[in-house]
Amino acid sequence: MGPQTTPAVSGVDERGVGPPVRTSRAMTVRIAAGGIEKDVERARKMTADAITKQQLAAAESRRVARELRGAGLSVADTARVMDISKGRVAQLTS
């Protein structure tokens, strides 16, 4: 048997498996070493950023629809300007 190598990541065993990680769903997961932890964290951050951007876009759509309607545009004209359906204009302005 050859010399045993020390894992490159702290807390990683000889199989390349790290310590248990607690998730928000009270579930224990073991993540294999090799940088995947950073990928997981980046994906989570990107998802959170996308949710925030979607919420900001929705708020802006509501604001613009209300402003157009307040300026006297009809529901149909507002829909055309915003490239959405008349029903969506109604939702945004209710």
Backbone angles phi, psi at 57, to 5 degrees: -65, -40
Does a structural domain hold residue 43? yes
The pLDDT value given to residue 7: 44
Does a structural domain hold residue 4? no
Does a structural domain hold residue 7? no
Does a structural domain hold residue 6? no
The pLDDT value given to residue 36: 82
- Which residue reads 């769903």 in tokens? 25
- 90 pLDDT more than 60: yes
Print the domain residue range for 79: 17-93
**Mean model confidence pLDDT for the chain:** 82
For the stretch 30-68, pLDDT in tens is 666 667 888 889 999 999 999 999 999 999 999 999 999
Q: Are 58 and 65 in contact (CB under 8 A)?
A: no
Helices 75-82 and 36-70 cross at an angle (nearest 10°) of: 140
